[in-house]
Amino acid sequence: MFNLVLPIALSALVVGGLGLKNVTTSRKTPIDVVLVILSAPGFGKLVYGLSNLNAESGGIGSVAGWLPSAPGPPVC
């Protein structure tokens, strides 16, 4: 199945990329360093929490599965 979808996706990516044109003026934008620093552990916490949603931790209905994904400080 992957061997069938991969060429179609790559060809769509190439055709789409060639068809794009810039209709606005380019400008420099600063990088928000605080956002980058805070988003890395936040995304890692979300991925860790979603990986805990398995049958061994009680499944989707358990608090142990969702607690690491909750907003707030890191949960160990």
| Amino acid letter, 18 | L
pLDDT tens digits, 45-62: 878 777 777 766 666 666
Rg of the chain over Cα atoms, rounded to whole angstroms, equals: 20
pLDDT < 70 stretches in the chain: 55-66, 68-69, 72-76
Determine how many CB atoms are found less than 10 A away from the CB of residue 22.
Answer: 6
pLDDT at 38: 82
pLDDT at 7: 93
pLDDT at 12: 95
